[in-house]
Structure 1
Amino acid sequence: MSVDIKKRHIPVWWAVLPLAIMITAMVLTIVVFKGEPHIPLIVGTTVAALVAWKNGYAWTEIEEMMFRGIRLALPAVIIIMMVGLTIGAWVGGGIVATMIYYGLKIISPSLFLVTIIIICGLVALTVGSSWATMGTIGVAGMGIGMSMGIPAPMVAGAVISGSYFGDKMSPLSDTTNLASGLTNTDLFDHIKYMFYTTIPGLIIALIVFFFLGRNFGSGKIEQGGISQMMADMQANFVISPYLLLVPLTVILLVALRVPAIPAIAVGVVMGFFSEIIVQGDTISNALAVLQNGYTIDTSNEMVSELFNRGGLMSMMYTVSMTIVAMTFGGILEYSGMLQAMMDQLLKVVKRTGSLIASTIGACFLTNATCSEQYISIVVPSRMFASVYKEKGLQSKTLSRSLEDGGTLTSVFVPWNTCGVFIYGTLGVHAFAYAPYAILNFSVPLIALFYAFTGLTIAKMKNANQNETNRKIESAQ
């Protein structure tokens, strides 16, 4: 049963305390003791609960704050589990091996990084999910790139850049719809307005990865290693072009506006039967792969690293991380601690440039504190809507800033659900791929450039200003 939470004022110095302790514990645990981020977040949650209790909240209210935070993350938890099932089914069914095999035959090493950005971008644009793209095409891309001798962080950066470009520009994306909906902005106006920051970011990423890829031309990689890997894949899997119908079917379903989860479920079922019918495995083994992931015994370390993965249980680290992070984020948001910190940030807002910069900064701060990109869109949208109205800015200016600062920067926080998901799926830590997630950090920088120069900033016309104000006020 839901419990009503009566808002209480929390001084900013109290609000900052849980965040400061959590970050300190996170640095000590990860950097010094080489541990995992769960315990620091639990420490932060404990301190946040004590601060809330000290400022007058009852334990039932604090529990409700945590439950609300977890409920907000449940859609992400479902996607995480579906991706784990997909990876297991597609590895066991030989689908990933087939994509890697033909990718190695077709794609030039020097153009691989550019190619994988474009492919991931197109798939994410069609599917509307960066996570689904990274969990399928991205996994295969990691295998192809690493087989060509390209460092894993560099490949991961290209996969992330392409996946987030497609996700950001897709009308099927949950974050894209969330940002436009919360700001009362027409969805396609929102997407078209994001072209000004996202397309230049994509061009920068393509140029950088084009020059990086030149270091991995055919004359500079170990061709014998690739040939051996292809031979090992043929020895362990049935490689067939017909297996490519599985990912193509999923893409087609989403293109026909089938919701992402049912479409991914179809891919899981097709992968499951591919393992039984095409690969000749037993139903018992195929079920075990869905649960615990695929295991392969080979002397080729690269093949073992690529194909020993997937399954529902492989995502439990990410699921537990998501739940722990959202308990912390739930207390910070619903107790008003996050609001107290944001209010201090708003005091420095004087001009349009500082307003947009504050929005992007607030989105990143929310990503770091609440560990969830959805909250990084929801909370700043509530806080800044009236300020954008007062400054005479169109709502799409706010919606674009939320995406530039919230959606894209989530990948840089190792304990954010996005950072954890990428680590669990692509096997690369956020600190390692961060320098190569070029689109993700170039777009916020472009947005800041526009903010302080006034370029592409959409201001309200007098004719429709009152109507826009009314819509914003009715949504709050």
Structure 2
Amino acid sequence: MKGAVLGIFLAGLTACVLTGATILWALLLGLLCFSAYALHLGHAPRAVGTMLLTGVRKVSNILLIFCLIGMLTAIWRAAGTIPLIIRDTLPWVDPASFYLSVFILCSLMSLLLGTSFGTVSTLGVIFMLLARTAGLHEGLTAGAIMSGIYVGDRCSPMSSSAALVCALTNTNIYDNIRRMWRTGVTPFLLAGLGYKLLSPSGAAACVDSGVAGQLDAWFRLSGWALLPAAAIVALSLFRVEVKRAMTCSILAGCGVCLFLQDMPPSDLLSCLLWGYRPPEGAEMLAGGGILSMRMVAGIVLLSSSYAGIFDATGLLRGFEEGIRRMADKWGVFRATAAVSIPVSAISCNQTLATILTDQLCRLLATTRQERAIHLENSVILIAALVPWSIACSVPCATLGVGMECLPYALYLYLVPVLNGLARENRTPVAVPGRS
């Protein structure tokens, strides 16, 4: 019976991938299958409902964070914050270290925005245009962009994936970020060295795309436009609770929109809800808004509801025991990384892959903090290396490249590989109160 239930769920995921349908249909199918399995075992309908709510309550706080992220990414566009950053960072690009510059600047942008998609659709698009006009290697440029956009996606206080890991493991985001930098600084430096060595030698020239100059025609790019970014950076340094920091940044951005960019209040409200709609010619800046987060919120709600049923019915117990034996032999992180590869391939989505990997590996003998860093160093980045995963296919499509860029996404490989090579001092033991 277990095999049939899981088989139907996996078949639904596969069908969604092959047909291009939203993964939410597969998750709804899984919800029905797992609930039916619990009823088949004799659980009352009310008890099954309680199981579903148990999992949802665990991540309910993240829904507010998703709304704040949506508003923040929209308001930073409308206020001129992102355009000003783009205009003032492009002159830093050194033609002799082009790929290194791309990696570093995309990393900085993603750390500010906390979103890989938001970074790739703005700064990433400009870098690809520069590479094409200068005749530079497109796959290598896209690989450097992919590396950079996932630096912030992994360890920015504004990252939805970092917020998800915190919700799943009940950990503090700033403590997690400190551990992420400690385990990620060597891969970051090695990736930077790799891009420096791969950058064109001699006096290579990059042709200005002209986009930076046009930004002044679309926005008033004074120093006030940096106020929303300055607010989030300053408050993060003082470890202000992330929801409050985001709220302050959004309010600052609203003020900039109203008084610097002369945006009508009705347009501002529409921007916060539906996302920023830029003037003609600046389409690359479109995006954000609360509704832009509805897909990831739906995935989190549906997939997190499975947790209570998995616990009560033991549906995954056979897999968990096998993973435990793997951890006894290989170590906890290596087992987590190994599990995340097929889970990412099946899930086709970073969010679902993270939730399922955590569900399968949470019985391993790690503290909550160790559990969080294992997820951040494995599935969060490995999901972006699966060609048919949204985490990979969307950035590639945005950049107009194929999977040939993946071998050059050095950071995505180096973090899990180097952490996998590190010696683990812990061995898995039984979790108290769990069978």
CA contact (8 A) 2:227 2:253 kept: no
Alignment of structure 1 residues 17-96 onto 2, 5 Å? 17-31=4-18, 33-96=19-82
The answer for the alignment partner of 1:311 in structure 2 is 289
1:449 aligned to 2:427? no
What displacement does 1:340 show?
Answer: 2.8
1:358 aligned to 2:358? no
The answer for the alignment partner of 1:384 in structure 2 is 364
Give distance in 1, aligned partners of 2:202 and 2:70: 31
The answer for the alignment partner of 1:98 in structure 2 is 84
Letter of the 2:17 counterpart: I
Structure 1 residues 58, 409: closer, same or farther in 2, change over 3 A? farther
CA contact (8 A) 1:103 1:144 kept: no
CA contact (8 A) 2:364 2:429 kept: no
CA contact (8 A) 2:307 2:359 kept: no
CA contact (8 A) 1:146 1:155 kept: no
Q: TM-score, normalised by structure 1?
A: 0.71
Give distance in 2, aligned partners of 1:179 and 1:80: 15
What displacement does 1:142 show?
Answer: 2.6
CA contact (8 A) 1:94 1:239 kept: yes
Give distance in 2, aligned partners of 1:434 and 1:137: 17
Alignment of structure 1 residues 6-405 onto 2, 5 Å? 14-31=1-18, 33-108=19-94, 111=97, 113-115=99-101, 117-118=103-104, 132=114, 134=116, 140-149=122-131, 153-154=142-143, 156-163=145-152, 166-167=155-156, 191=179, 195=182, 198-211=184-197, 213-214=199-200, 219=205, 221-223=206-208, 226-227=209-210, 229-298=211-280, 300=281, 303-304=282-283, 306-347=284-325, 351=329, 353=330, 356-362=333-339, 371=352, 373=354, 376-377=357-358, 380-381=361-362, 383-385=363-365, 401-405=374-378
Give distance in 2, aligned partners of 1:78 and 1:412: 29
Give distance in 1, aligned partners of 2:219 and 2:371: 50
Unaligned runs of 5+ in 1: 1-13, 389-393, 451-455, 461-467
Give distance in 2, aligned partners of 1:419 and 1:30: 13
Secondary structure at the counterpart of residue 371 of structure 1: helix
What displacement does 1:159 show?
Answer: 2.7
Structure 1 residues 163, 285: closer, same or farther in 2, change over 3 A? same
CA contact (8 A) 1:25 1:40 kept: yes
